[in-house]
Amino acid sequence: MYDDKYIFKRAFILEILNLHPVIVYGMVAIDLLLFAAELFTFGLSFFLTIIISFLFGIFTIYVQMMACGDEFPIALSKGIISAIIILVPTNLLTLMFISLYCSKKRKMEQEKSTDDNSDDEL
């Protein structure tokens, strides 16, 4: 029913930034974990957050170039954005990603159900 290119395009969570799902899930997990650490240490673990966000930015650049085929300037901008999202000492952006993912998944399920209904009518 669907070819491989369609499935690969729909596997992306955010069409706004066109980030790979591994990057988004990693951002959510790391941001939640680091937010808890900063909360309980009253900001003393912020230096650890700086190092982890820098390393995750480099990982984002690598994944975007290898898995998604982005050019270096585009992958660099996505790496900087992901590092800044992790660096901000709040998890509001993580909650935004989760809500965008849920709304996107709901939209994909609705499209799939309408496609299935139209196939049944034929």
Q: pTM of the prediction?
A: 0.66
pLDDT digits over 31-72, tens only? 888 888 887 888 788 888 899 999 999 999 999 999 888 899
Q: How many domains are contained in the chain?
A: 1
DSSP code string of 75-88: HHHHHHHHHHHHHS
In terms of residue numbers, what domain contains 107?
Answer: 4-121
DSSP for 19-47, written as a single string: B-HHHHHHHHHHHHHHHHHHHHTTTTTHH
Tokens standing for 6? 């369609």
What are the residues facing 14 on neighbouring strands? 19
